[in-house]
Structure formats: structure tokens, C-alpha cells
Amino acid sequence: MKQELLVTKDRWQVQIAVIEEGRLVEYFHEPTHLEGLVGNLYVGRVNRILQGMESAFVDVGLERDGFLYEGDMGPSGLVDEEVGDFADRKSSTVKNLHEGERLLVQIIKEPMGAKGSRLSTEIALPGHYLIYMPFMNHLAVSRKIGGTERGRLKEILRRLKREAVGGFIVRTAAEGVAEEELAGEMQALADLWSLIRLKSQLCEAPALVHQEADLVGRAVREILLRGEGTVITDDEEIAQRCRELMETLDLSPSRIRGWADASVPLFDHYRVQQEIDKALRPRVWLPSGGCIVLQSTEALVAIDVNSGRYMGKKSLEETAFAINMEAVAEIVRQIRLRSLGGIIVIDFIDMTKKAHREALVANLNEALKTDRAKSRILTISEFGLVEMTRKRSHRSLERVMTSVCPCCEGRGRVPAAWRVAQQIAQTVAGMKQSRPATVTASPEVVRYLEENRERFGLGATTKIEAAALPNPAGYSVKPK
């Protein structure tokens, strides 16, 4: 698959767009004055324990305390202040904690809205080919690696593990990598952990003890190593950093290209902003004329597949199957682009044939292999619903690009014209009698008032005028 990683930087931000087969599939954004938080390690201090919620709030030095749920607590991670070492506790729970205690934690989800960062004591240090978990003791290989290569990597891992403490996961990018490279990275991660451990013993809480790679470094490590893609950037400093990183990985620096066309900005050439604008709309049209509608709520993401303008040529069953199969690729693309996570429910068009339903789920599973985020799919229900979960570690595109409307406060609806007109009539009636007034409202409300002036008791002395108000439900009543 042809993949291009577009990187642009200005005084305000760094932006990365992932292009696959000529289409935008992922977008990342990081303000220049803020560095990424996910993956950072802190020695925090327990501020509050909520036994009933099996969780604790931990001060890590950020604006809001981080949230530590018992399910995210590993077998260790507690810092014993008396001996300056990690406490030997096989099963850490909230009951083991007490307020004021120091704790080594890692951010696994960045702050969202009024919520602080989500924390974990299950420390994971990602490398290019391996993930090192110092408190765990198991070995695993990415599920996206199969066949004889999976067996080869498992055997290498078992041999190398004899000389290392902790657990390791082989990443997808390690496919085909020599044993010497894996051994070198395993040692480098173990050395990094020794340094982090030393820092955590000596520092005062709260303190940052390990900074994860920035957005560009993570993108190259997480995306570029998985295939034969290229990086295109309009910033020479970023280009040089990427070349140096590629050289350390024994990859060709020629995969890093500068953007030489000064007449057209990089993102404009690839129409990135236009695709982002489309991704902020709920309705997405399919080439056949069908469409999908995506709606995010606090509880889940609902995706509805509709036939739209597509009428089909054979039967209703064949029409539904064709639209559903076409919708799968676009649904996965939109999930990745919009960075949707949590519970996702997809309402496909009803199909009666079992073979069609099984083919649809198989197609969805295959399409999700291009997604780096972990997901899990349940079988299609009798109502044509597919339930799935997707790991969420970053803010959605909607939260990055938009804010809550100050007029409707996120409801997306405004009172009907008759309700606003009724409120205006009550306001006018409550004023001193025989006093003329001027009513200013939205054109729709003004039109309704003019048509029903007598019914609302608005005499000839009441002047009604339209104004382009920012809130269609807003109005003003002023005495003359």
C-alpha cells in the first residue's frame, strides 16, 4: 500500500497527515508550546482515594490530577520512600494506597475536556521493534504477524529473555528484523529503564522522569516502520531529524523528501484541509450514491449505513449487501481519521442471508488490519448491528477542531419559532401598559410574530424588526 506521511510546521503547531492510496486516513496535531503527554512517566503523589470507585487521583504536576483506576494498576509501581526502591508487592490495589504516597505512573490517555489524564502503573516502554514492560513477565508477538515469521520471532524472544528481567512484546515493525537488532534494542530498553528507576528514586514528587518522543518521532516510529512509505515535509529541521532517525534504523534516508514547491503549501496540494472539513460533517457519501452517518455521544459512537441515492439492479438483498460492503472501507477510514474510540455501534442495512452477514464481518475485520489502534468486533446481531470497541488514547478530530456552541451548548437544536414568539409575547405583556416597545429577533421568529401579531396581543405600537442574531433563539425587547 502506497503511504505518505506529510509533516508541516509553523510557529503555532506541528501537523501530520497520513495519506494512503491518495486519501487522507489519519491526522495528528500538536501545538508547538505543548509536547505530547501519552507515554510520559511521572513520579506522582496520591491526592485522593475513592474506595467506592476503586480509583485514585494522582498529582503528576499537570493542571488536573490524573485518574488511576484499579484495573490499570500493575503488579508493582509503588515507590517506597524509606528505602528509595520499588516496593515488592505482587498485587497492587487501591486498598494498598494511602494519601501522600509517591507512585510511578504512565499517562495512557491525554486529558479530555474536564477530565484529567488517565494513568497506569503497568509501565510500557516502546522501542522501534519491541515494547518493554519491566513489571510483567510474559512474552508476546503482535497478532498482525503470522505464519513462520511469528514462530521465528517467538523463538528469538525466548532465547533473549533469559538474560533480561521483565516482559516484551514484539511489534509489527519487527517482521523480518534480524536477531542482533532485536537484542540490541532489548538491551537499550533495559538500560533506559535502569535510568528511569534511578531518577524516580531520587526526585521529589510530582516530577517527570521520562519524556516520550514528540509527535514527529512517534509518527516515524509507529507508522513509517510498518511499510515502505515516505515522509514529505516542508521543514528542513524536521527532514534532517527524520533522516538521522532512519539511519539509526538502517533504513534509507531517501524515503525523506523535502517539499520544494513554494507556490503551493504542502497540505493544500494534498487537499488535507478539505478532507478534514468533510470529516467534521455527520454525513459521508459513498461513490455508489449510498451514505453513512456518524454521530458521537458521551456513551458511544453510532454509525448508520443508508442506501441514499443507490437503487441497485437485482434484488433488495443484493442492493443491501453491495452498499454494506462498500461502506466498510469508508467506515474504517472515518474511524481512523476522526480518531473515534470507545464503544462503536454500526447499523448496517438489514440482510437476510447468513453468507452475506458473515462476509460483511470478515470484510470489516480485514479492513481494520490497517488500523494501528486495538479493536474488538462482536458478531453481527439479528438487527444488522455490529458492536465494536476501539482503544482511544487521543482526542477525537471533533474535539481538536471544534468547541461546544455557546448558543445551544452542544445540543445542536434551538427552540421552535412559536416558543420564542410566546416568550416574547409574555415579556411584552409584563411591561407597563401603553408603553411602546421594539422587539428584535431572528427573521424566522419575526415572520411568525407578524403572522400572529393579533393572537399574541402585540399592538400597533410594538415594533418588530429582524436582526442576524448569533443565536436563532435569542431576542431582545426594549421600550421605545
The whole-number pLDDT of residue 86 equals 44
Instruction: Give the residue ranges of DSSP H helices in 93-225.
Output: 147-161, 179-202, 215-222
Position 406 in a domain: no
- Domain-embedded: residue 314: yes
Distance CA 44, CA 32 (A): 25
271 vs 279: CA distance, rounded Å: 13
Question: What is the distance between the alpha carbons of residues 380 and 352, in angstroms, rounded to a whole number?
Answer: 12
- Same domain, yes or no, for 385 and 342? yes
Residue at 407 is within a domain: no
Within this chain, do residues 267 and 291 fall inside the same structural domain, yes or no? no
End position of a domain, from candidates 163, 185, 208: 208
Rg (CA), the chain: 28
Do the domain assignments include residue 449?
yes
pLDDT in tens, 56-65: 999 998 888 9
Rounded Cα distance, 314 and 208, in Å: 63
Residue 59's DSSP bridge partners are 45
Contact 391, 374 (CB under 8 A): yes
30 with 151, same domain: the answer is no
pLDDT at 218: 80
Give yes or no: residues 90 and 201 share one domain: yes
Assign residue 29 a region (left: φ > 0; alpha: ψ between -120 and 50; beta: otherwise): beta
Cα 171 versus chain centre, distance: 21
If asked whether residues 86 and 200 sit together in one domain, one would say yes
Domain presence at residue 408: no
Residue count of the chain: 480
Residues 370 and 468 in one domain: no
Domain that holds residue 90: 43-208
Q: What is the pTM of this model?
A: 0.75
Residues 180 and 71 reside in one and the same domain = yes
Task: Say which residues have a Cβ less than 8 Å from residue 215's Cβ, sequence separation at least 6.
Answer: 14, 16, 28, 30, 36
Same domain for 180 and 60: yes
Q: Which residues have CB under 8 Å from 39's CB, separation 6+?
A: 106, 107, 126, 212, 213, 218
142 and 75 in one domain?
Answer: yes
The verdict on 149 and 169 lying in the same domain is: yes
DSSP 279-312: HTSSEEE-TTS-EEEEEE-SS-EEEEEE-TT---
Please indicate, yes or no, if residue 325 is contained in any of the structural domains: yes
Counted domains in the chain: 4
The pLDDT value recorded for residue 346 is 96
Reduced to 3 states (helix: H, G, I; strand: E, B; else coil), residue 419 is: helix
Same structural domain, 53 and 30: no
Q: Which residues of the chain have pLDDT under 50?
A: 77-90
pLDDT of residue 434: 60
The last residue of a domain, from among 272, 298, 315: 272
Based on the fold, state whether residues 70 and 192 are members of the same structural domain: yes
Examine residue 94 and state whether it is found in any structural domain, yes or no: yes
Q: Which of 401, 425, 446 is the last residue of a domain?
A: 401
Q: What CATH number is associated with residue 223?
A: 3.30.420
15 grid coordinates: 501537523
Q: Evaluate whether residue 354 is within a structural domain.
A: yes
